[in-house]
Amino acid sequence: MRSMGDFKDLKVWQRARLIAGRAYVVTQGFPTEKRYGLTSQVRRAAASIMSNLAEGSGRDNDREMLRHVKIALGSSREVESHLILAHDLRFAEPSMVKALCTEVQAIRRMLAALAQRLKGDD
């Protein structure tokens, strides 16, 4: 059993933080009436990625960290799914949505690699 240390030192958390910030920028252009719908869902799911990494890193064992990494993976899929819908509804510039989806996919690969490493430490 071990702690991952300071979550702010995790490269995957740093990248997730950037994605969360960019999600706020992309959703600023969404229609005002969607503020409590799709806008908040995208923002919440993006923030959830970094939040779960922070929470999991403070746990005393790899199994707990793995659980939080899996939740972060789910949140990354949720962000991408919401962004695809926003694209379909033409709520944001297609290039902005595509760029953010590409970033989310990259973070998902990082999360998957971290999950594999944590599984291997059992």
Query: Would you say residue 2 lies in a domain?
Result: no
Question: Does 21 score more than 50 pLDDT?
Answer: yes
Question: Does 2 score more than 80 pLDDT?
Answer: no
Burial of 50: CB neighbours in 10 Å, binned 0-12, 13-18, 19+:
buried
Q: Give residue 94's domain range.
A: 7-120
Report how far apart, in Å, the C-alpha atoms of 74 and of each of 15, 16, 33, 93 are: 16, 13, 26, 25
For the record, the structure tokens of 10 come out as: 């995790």
CATH of the domain at 95: 1.20.1440.60
**pTM, rounded to two decimals:** 0.90
Q: How many domains does the chain have?
A: 1
pLDDT tens figures, 64-108 = 999 999 999 999 999 999 999 999 999 989 999 999 999 999 999
Query: Would you say residue 1 lies in a domain?
Result: no
For the record, the structure tokens of 89 come out as: 């509804």
